[in-house]
A and B are shown apart, each in its own frame.
Chain A
């Protein structure tokens, strides 16, 4: 079991907003949704990806020297990285001393992940924290996720599963005994709007939330507030109405920001991020009040 591995982004230690206390968060690559505002676009694909961060490049052309696929072209003194040519040998990342080439996604085994997690065990104990498996969608590499959760539980480490819930219910069933808290995104109450914004309807998500609630799972709902996408009063009321039927511990409101936009460019992904300002404090307060009116414990 411990030899199982997953493709992951770099783990985040001293994660403070991914469940209770001080935590280590593992970001497992691969996500079934494609939310327009995704601020971790590097987590959508389950495969490793290489990014070119142009402003860090010094045009030294060392990458071109080691590249066998002709992916690094220098034209008129400008470095152009052809993502399509790249065979992901990762040699350019090794030679780039300016860190202009960055790999998103490395294979990490359960054993390695556990070792990383254990390094901060004193901090978890003091803060009531633990480990969060996030993504992407951690249940896309479910065998690994179950194995890591089980290994963490064996060490009595608090576990959180940050899931979009667009997964087979069976996977949630299996994760139930291994997970202390589920962090579940809820992006839109309307199935059609949900499909427009994330690529999928929310019916499965709702069913799965109902399932978790029925099985007395501890649930924190996280709502990304993206103006012009999901912050209208109708949606907030619908969201409140639905969530109030479930056994939800807290509802956390997350403000949209567009800081991830440069990642889309560096990864050569189409930039889908909405062009909108973050929600104002007044808007957040109003949304919070509406959700509270449905008896929800809202945190900003």
Chain B
């Protein structure tokens, strides 16, 4: 294996996806392809091709015309379609997306966009959460996937189920798979011509040649296959590949065989993994790219193996924020793995989240999945889980839980857009008790959820014709069996998620209203309305008093925290029986990605002491700085909510000072904390452990802290890449923790 020291390759790898340089003679640039795509797509459309065929023809066009490269500093080829926001196939999808708003969804367009603008909720078309069945992919390889699809076409023909629609579907798959395999040929020819004598390129050519004709046989070929599938899927077919898979389990057989047959040494494997992970280190997608480790075998023993530790260690040495790692944790998780991960997090290499196998089982079996489906579940995105190889989950919508408070105070008129919300909520003047207030709150919540579900059903029912998922469908057996698009309705489980933003903020807001208006009678609702409308101007003392109040979610006070459970139970009871537009169901998620900032910006002052435009609470965590009794109380608060009400995910963000978890005791305490959280049915937990002084210094001297990472939600960013206001936010929070 022609390995050389990674350090010699580092510069190339870091820049690979940031400043690539292509030989123009190899084809068209990313932007040239994108500029040309509309014309190309319209040409195919005018030929009368079906949508899967048009998409596949465009895919083929890109494969044949994109610039390509290989480099002796790398084990993996470079694609000319490297700019994610400007993926070349985008203009085709835009044609169909615009058509949806002109035709199928014309009647809802105005209100749909207005509601998104108002900050009441957001409804989105999500193409970013597909996870293929990596076991099958690696077993079949690219030619095997193409051949399997053709075999299914024949089965449909024999069964009399090969309708025109099914023919179109299979044609799309065939064109796509063939183009993909032919592109591997382009890489080989180019590499042979450009670097005929380079030993590493020779190895790469040999690897690619095999993947052209068969399935991966060794670790290098398996990694190459994963990389290629990812690039073809994410950058050409426009479907985010939302997990690189259960890497340690998937790669272990290859690793063992390579060592036994002396194909690769231990050092070779480390070098390959280093280069492999650096592909995503260089891609540096804001949200990160996940893979997961561990799990439990059918016999109850752990899936972790010696490769798990090697992967963790390679990742540790690279100190990159992405790819990001999800660790499946159970009582059988080896101490060595768990402790290594805790130590990495403590040292700031914290692009790691722990997810509980027991809680996933608890949630999934509650919702009718089998224990086996729970045991083998895939983890995707930030920490979401789903049935492996048989499910496709979308993030369809997000509800702003604070907006209904603002609507109550404004008698249903949304202040930002002037939109009038019609529902059975009482007018402010009619509200006489806290129960009235709460009942009105739920009326607005119900109205918002009804609308989210209606709009998501209407728009998601167009998913399959806006962006046929040819590559993803190749990976999904149920899709082939039913000749239906795997991303739309061809997976066994085609579920949609509705995520919640601001659960802690709303609990704190309700507590302030309850105490000041209905218990202490210090304010009337109309006085409170005036104060909020003035954004607390002239009432700073009251605002401070509210902020200092002990009645805050996150402190283990049942009388407060119970409202988080009441709200999430109400939402779950309402949402979960609904069917989505793809033959599946809806599930509530407890995470909010960046909505806590985006919705916050569109929400006026609220009774919890929050000023207009300020961000809201994140995920299921307390409002920043309101958790005053430490992490154990915070966990007690959060787990007052029922995990089964959030089958999407139920995550907790923890921030700590390094001194809290120093030494051996610190690692043990982190483990015990995580296990206790999981025993209380917490699902996912991740950490930011840093000293405020370090953050202050990093803000002043960014050049000294280029490696300093911050965990934002389910992903990491470099601290020095954050805007000053965001840096200030983390600094303030870190000082709060010290106090």
Contact = CB atoms under 8 A, between A and B. Distances in A.
Instruction: List the 3 shortest-distance A-B pairs measured between CB atoms, nearest first.
Output: A127-B672, A97-B544, A16-B669
Given A22-B632, A126-B679, A17 B663 contact: yes
B669 A21 contact: yes
B630 interface: yes
B668 A119 contact: no
Contacts of B662: 17
B548 to A, nearest CB: 6
Contacts of A62: 541
A218 interface: no
A97 B545 contact: yes
B336 interface: no
A140 B18 CA distance: 65
Interface of B: 540-541, 544-545, 547-548, 556, 629-633, 636, 660-666, 668-669, 671-673, 675-676, 679-680
Contacts of B636: 119-120
Chain A interface size, as a band, is 20 to 34
A122 B679 contact: yes
B629 A129 contact: no
A123 interface: yes
A98 B544 CA distance: 8
Nearest to B635: A123
A14 interface: yes
Interface in A74-133: 97-99, 119-120, 122-123, 125-129
A20 B663 CA distance: 12
A69 interface: no
Interface string A248-262: 000000000000000
A254 B633 CA distance: 28
B676 A13 contact: no
Nearest to A120: B632
Chain B interface SS verdict (over half): helix
A300 interface: yes
Contacts of B630: 12-14
A102 B100 CA distance: 61
A17 B675 contact: no
Nearest to A127: B672
A123 B673 contact: yes
B335 to A, nearest CB: 14
B629 A126 contact: no
Nearest to A128: B672
A42 to B, nearest CB: 14
B491 to A, nearest CB: 38
A21 B672 contact: yes
A28 B631 CA distance: 22
Contact of A122 (B631, B666, B676): B676
Contacts of B548: 97, 99
A121 to B, nearest CB: 10
A208 to B, nearest CB: 26
Contacts of A127: 668-669, 671-673, 676
Nearest to A56: B739
Contacts of B666: 16-17
A97 B632 contact: no
A126 B544 contact: no
Contacts of A12: 630
A16 B679 contact: no
B633 A123 contact: no
Nearest to B556: A119
Contact of B541 (A20, A97, A128, A299): A97
A167 B672 CA distance: 35
Interface string A263-297: 00000000000000000000000000000000000
Given A17-B663, A22-B632, A122-B679, A129 B556 contact: no
A14 B541 contact: no
Contacts of A97: 540-541, 544-545, 547-548
A300 B544 contact: no
Given A13-B630, A13-B632, A97-B545, A122 B669 contact: no
Nearest to B738: A259
A129 B630 CA distance: 16
Given A97-B544, A126-B675, A127-B669, 13 more contacts: A13-B629, A13-B633, A22-B632, A22-B676, A97-B540, A97-B548, A119-B636, A122-B679, A126-B672, A126-B676, A126-B679, A127-B676, A299-B664
Nearest to A19: B665
Contacts of B631: 13-14
B223 to A, nearest CB: 38
- Residue of A13, A14, A119 ringed by the most chain B CB atoms within 10 A: A14
B675 A14 contact: no
Contacts of B547: 97
Contacts of B661: 16
B410 to A, nearest CB: 28
Contact of B672 (A13, A119, A129): A129
A160 to B, nearest CB: 13
B545 A14 contact: no
Contacts of B675: 126
B676 A123 contact: yes
Interface in A201-231: none
B739 to A, nearest CB: 8
